[in-house]
Chains A and B, each alone.
Chain A
Amino acid sequence: MATVIIPTPLRKFTENNARLETDAATVGSALQSLSEKYPDLRRHLFDDTGNIRPFLNIFVGEDDIRDRNQGDTLLESNTVLSIVPAIAGG
């Protein structure tokens, strides 16, 4: 099982869970499965075209999935998937 770390602003959609377990094989399927379990979370994870929202950073361990295989990045057992909101503005 891999662990998914939910950032504070999204915890109200996961019944205040900060860490969730997943047996999904890839990052994309883990996030899909999360949004099926917590439907209100979906629009904060995916855009209208079903892609991971551009203002979210997804890390597997220390690696940004943009530097690996995006949503197809494999989740090994005991790895940690962190959902990290982009904090920026003007």
Chain B
Amino acid sequence: MNNTKSILLFQPDVYQKMLDDAIHCFPDECCGFLFGTENENIRSFTKILVVENTKEGDKKRRFSITPRDYMKAETLASELDLTLLGVYHSHPVHPAIPSEHDLSVAMPYFSYVIVSVYGENDIHVRSWKLNEERQFEEELVA
């Protein structure tokens, strides 16, 4: 088992686009996919795909991505010769800590990046990945 924490490096435009999406969707949750390369414990995000939050009902507290958008992301990764490394979503007016619901749905391997938004100048980004015991461990956002 590899207990070394992943270090996440965001290409600046990818990071900015993710924050812009979180602000644009506020007070609803935004969501999308992150692509890039992986070298040992370093993940470099070089591409972002913004997708629609299709959750029916309370988008301020929940998000959902359609299977079709997921398949589109896998296809894009293959076309660009990048790896689909993770998913981001926002927590409007809530800390960047995964909820029980986030945990129940999470898949292994993926980085789950959470953008906490309290306002345009009050944004915090943290990321989490499942360990072998299906518990979230925090990754380091460089």
Contact = CB atoms under 8 A, between A and B. Distances in A.
Interface string A39-69: 0000010000000000101010000100000
B42 interface: no
The number of chain A residues touching the other chain, given as a range, is: 20 to 34
Contacts of B108: 9-10, 12, 44
Given A87-B65, A89-B98, A90-B99, A8 B105 contact: no
A85 interface: yes
Contacts of A9: 107-110
Contacts of B67: 57, 59, 64, 84, 86
Interface stretch (B15-23, B82-90, B119-127): B82-90
A85 B130 CA distance: 15
A89 B105 contact: yes
6 contacts: A10-B107, A44-B107, A59-B71, A87-B87, A88-B62, A90-B29
